[in-house]
């Protein structure tokens, strides 16, 4: 018998507890790596959106400049 938190449990149950704890640690590790990958994906997506916004604003500025130039009468 082994002791877990001052409770005695049979050896078979102790091995099951050990397996469950190991599985739990693996799951937490996978969740952390998944969260990290997810965060990196959001960061990359944010950069892409920022670049698109800059291009869009530049295109709008160029269009408004062309429109103003076209309205001028010399």
CA angle 18, 24, 29 (to 5 degrees): 130
CA dihedral 23, 2, 8, 13 (to 10 degrees): 40
Cβ atoms of 17 and 4 within 8 Å: the answer is yes
Domain region containing 39: 2-71
Category of 58 on φ-ψ map: left (φ > 0), alpha (ψ -120 to 50) or beta: alpha
Q: Mean pLDDT in each 10-residue stretch from start to end of the chain (74 residues)?
A: 59 79 86 78 82 87 77 63
The pTM is what? 0.42
| Domain count within the chain | 1
């Amino acid at each position: 018998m082994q002791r877990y938190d001052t409770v005695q449990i049979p050896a078979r149950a102790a091995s099951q507890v050990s397996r469950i704890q190991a599985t739990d640690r693996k799951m937490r590790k996978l969740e952390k790596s998944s969260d990290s990958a997810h965060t990196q994906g959001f960061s990359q997506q944010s950069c892409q959106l920022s670049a698109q916004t800059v291009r869009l604003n530049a295109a709008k500025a160029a269009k408004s400049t062309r429109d103003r130039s076209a309205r001028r009468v010399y």
